Amino acid sequence: MLRILLNLLVIVSVTTADALPNTKLLNDGNRIPIVAYGTFGKTNEVAIIKPAVIKAIEAGYRHIDTAAVYKNEEQVGEAIADVISRGIVKREDLWITTKLGLDVGTREGVLTSLQTSLNKLKLDYVDLYLIHTSLNLLDLPEHDYLNVWKGMEDIKKMNLARSIGISNFNSSEINRILANSEIVPSVNEIEVNPNYVDLGLVAYCQSLNITVMSYAPFGFLVPRPYLNYTTSLNFENPVLKRIAQKYGKTSSQVMLRYLMDRDTIPIPRSTNEERMKLNFDILDFNLTENEIYQINELNEDAKVYDFYDESFFTALADYYGL
């Protein structure tokens, strides 16, 4: 009898957890909101981030994506403090993702970097802490992402981050982590959009139950002034338009829904209140499998953020003031 009651209790609790709206279960048991609000922008314009994050949370976003390198964690922290103090949300309603500084290449450096971020964010813990990249972009004398991952495991055990993950890791780098670590990353944050659909890496992550967060969701359909690439895609593309008309949505909303229906978490960024709301208004429709295939076919294998290209990183760093 007791066993039956216990089983019932488990079923009820699993069902309740699954019913939590607009969240997705991670491989560590935490539930992550399925749309994130992106905050990357020019570092000399960080003042716009506080009001933008406040508006985003008021519009319904519960997941904020920042990073040490964006130099806006203080503004994000002020926005969080503001919405909590006004009773709009409680801390536990929010999911805050931030990323390790690019200046950390060792296990020991992780805790210090996270503590700096926590101070700026005015938080006791973050919900998700990511290694920003596997690459040694700053030519540090000591750098191994595997050692850095051990530091990530340390801070998870200290409960300073509820979940830990990686960003911009390819499949062989993920494999090296899996072969040599205790904790499987919960998330890989990578570029996915109709210009760069990355079927292989998304599938590899998903086969390992690593959730994909899709950054730069609008690809080259929005201006990327520091790059020389011209895409044949735009918001008037007939495939995007046809699907948008069918659901009474815009092409931009279809692009975000496409990422959700591939079971990834899109991270749109907009500081414009109208577009911010539009980008969140994607929870009431679904694409068919065939519509997903049609958008996959738009792929040009063109990445906005190609960190392997040194000249790209220089141009990006100059433009954004990194």
Ligand X SMILES: NC(=O)c1ccc[n+]([C@@H]2O[C@H](COP(=O)([O-])OP(=O)(O)OC[C@H]3O[C@@H](n4cnc5c(N)ncnc54)[C@H](OP(=O)(O)O)[C@@H]3O)[C@@H](O)[C@H]2O)c1
Using the rule CB under 6 A, which residue among 267, 282, 287, 298 binds ligand X?
267
Catalytically annotated residues: 70
Q: Which residue is nearest to ligand X (CB)?
A: 38
Q: What angle do CA 85, 86, 87 make, to 5 degrees?
A: 90
271 part of the interface to ligand X, by CB under 6 A? yes
194 part of the interface to ligand X, by CB under 6 A? no
Q: Is 18 or 310 the residue whose CB approaches ligand X more closely?
A: 310
235 SS3 class = coil
Q: Is 99 or 162 the residue whose CB approaches ligand X more closely?
A: 99
Query: Is residue 135 a contact partner of residue 167, using CB atoms and an 8 Å limit?
Result: no
Q: Is 48 or 89 the residue whose CB approaches ligand X more closely?
A: 48
Q: How far is CA 315 from CA 134, 196, 221, 310, in A?
A: 20, 20, 19, 9
Q: Which stretch binds ligand X (CB under 6 A): 4-12, 25-33, 154-162, 216-224?
A: 216-224
End-to-end CA distance of the chain: 62
Q: Is 4 or 314 the residue whose CB approaches ligand X more closely?
A: 314
Residue carrying structure tokens 């593309």: 237
Using the rule CB under 6 A, which residue among 73, 127, 173, 189 binds ligand X?
189
Query: Taking CB under 6 A as the criterion, which residues in 146-185 touch ligand X?
Result: 167-168
35 part of the interface to ligand X, by CB under 6 A? no
23 SS3 class = strand
CA torsion sign for 257, 263, 268, 273 is: positive
195 part of the interface to ligand X, by CB under 6 A? no
- Write b or e for each residue in 158-183: b if 16 or more Cβ atoms lie within 10 A of its Cβ, otherwise e: eebbbbbbbbbbeeebbebbeeeeeb
Using the rule CB under 6 A, which residue among 26, 32, 40, 121 binds ligand X?
40
Of 210, 124, 126, 122, residue with least CA distance to 174: 210
Q: Which stretch binds ligand X (CB under 6 A): 102-110, 114-122, 195-203, 211-219?
A: 211-219
CB neighbourhood size of 310 (10 A): 10
186 part of the interface to ligand X, by CB under 6 A? no
Using the rule CB under 6 A, which residue among 98, 113, 195, 270 binds ligand X?
270
Binding mask 48-77 for ligand X (x = CB under 6 A): -----------------x------------
Query: Is residue 256 a contact partner of residue 217, using CB atoms and an 8 Å limit?
Result: yes
Query: Is residue 63 a contact partner of residue 90, using CB atoms and an 8 Å limit?
Result: no
Using the rule CB under 6 A, which residue among 162, 240, 279, 316 binds ligand X?
279
* Interface contacts to ligand X, rule CB under 6 A: 38-40, 65, 132, 167-168, 189, 215-218, 222, 252, 267-272, 275, 278-279, 305
